Amino acid sequence: MQIDIIGVPIDLGADRRGVDMGPSAIRYSHLQQKLQDLGYTVQDDGNVEVPIAETCKITNPKLKYLDCIIPMSRRVAGAVATSVQAGHFPLVLGGDHSLSIGSVRGAARNRKIGVIWIDAHADFNTAETTPSGNIHGMSLAILAGLGDKSLVQLWDEALPVIDPKKIAVIGARDLDSGEKANLKKAGAMVMGMEQIDRYGMVTVVQKAIEHVSHDVDGIYLSLDLDALDPQHAPGVGTPVPAGLTQREVHLACELIAETGKLIGMDVVEVNPILDVQNQTAKLAVEFALSALGRRIWDGQ
């Protein structure tokens, strides 16, 4: 299988700057070589064109940088759709989580997919519920058909990209009140830190896989590095204490890999400005390798 690396250096979806350098930091951590060492053919397609914030305007404080995020989302969707339709595996590097409006849409073009969203946040706000106006906190809701029409449709599609009942959020621990109501109404599965603490990561991930994998053509994994506890991943824009350990995220990726249904992956919200010796970017590479089949020991 060929892996297509697609960089999306966007920081328009968030308040804190710096995640636009995330793709470079991840590449610098020997991503391509390590994927090739696993036996994959790897092509780095470079970065999708993203305007810098200084050239964009905020015309609606509840949907910041909307006019620049829409064309970015279309370009990302096109790049991912091209990769999947060629039978390749798109590995999308971020950048803030608004890029998933495009990446997941591209993977879902002409196919039915389930989504596993590993994140400290559910990203299920709309313009009506957002406390910040940051679109990276709306990505999953938009994919489920909720929110601003121009983002939900992007082109002319009227239906949600993803059936909300084919969505599972893992590791959530920072949800807004309106966001909670949106999640309940939509019927998305949320397995937060409480469930992980109670039942363990294996049970939680298995439940998530079961929830999203029936009657679909594949599973898409979107991994936000702020899912981890900040002591493990300091280089993220919106850190939240009491998060996942490195081993828990590796285990989740390994279990998802074992399904044989993974068709694409995002690794997002790496902020080198806030990182320590590129620690978070290195983790991003290691998690991608786990999701793509690397094991510490393959014997019996």
Domains detected in the chain? 2-291 (3.40.800.10)
**How far is residue 193's CA from residue 295's CA, in Å, rounded to a whole number?**
25
Q: Looking at the annotation, which residues are catalytic? A: 97, 119, 121, 123, 136, 224, 226, 269
Task: With beta carbons less than 8 A apart as the criterion, state whether 229 and 242 touch.
Answer: yes
**How far is residue 60's CA from residue 32's CA, in Å, rounded to a whole number?**
39
Helix (H, G, I), strand (E, B) or coil at 170: strand
Averaged over 217-232, what is the pLDDT?
A: 98
Task: With beta carbons less than 8 A apart as the criterion, state whether 160 and 140 touch.
Answer: no
Rounded to whole angstroms, what are the CA distances from 105 to 100, 151, 200? 8, 11, 31
CB atoms within 10 A of CB 120: 29
State the pLDDT confidence band at 216, using cuts at 50, 70 and 90.
very high
Per residue in 35-55, pLDDT (tens digit) is 999 999 999 999 999 999 999
pTM to 2 decimal places: 0.97
Looking at residue 188, what DSSP letter applies?
-
Give Cβ neighbours of residue 88 (< 8 Å, ≥ 6 apart).
1, 2, 3, 4, 43
Helix (H, G, I), strand (E, B) or coil at 152: helix
Per residue in 84-122, pLDDT (tens digit) is 999 999 999 999 999 999 999 999 999 999 999 999 999
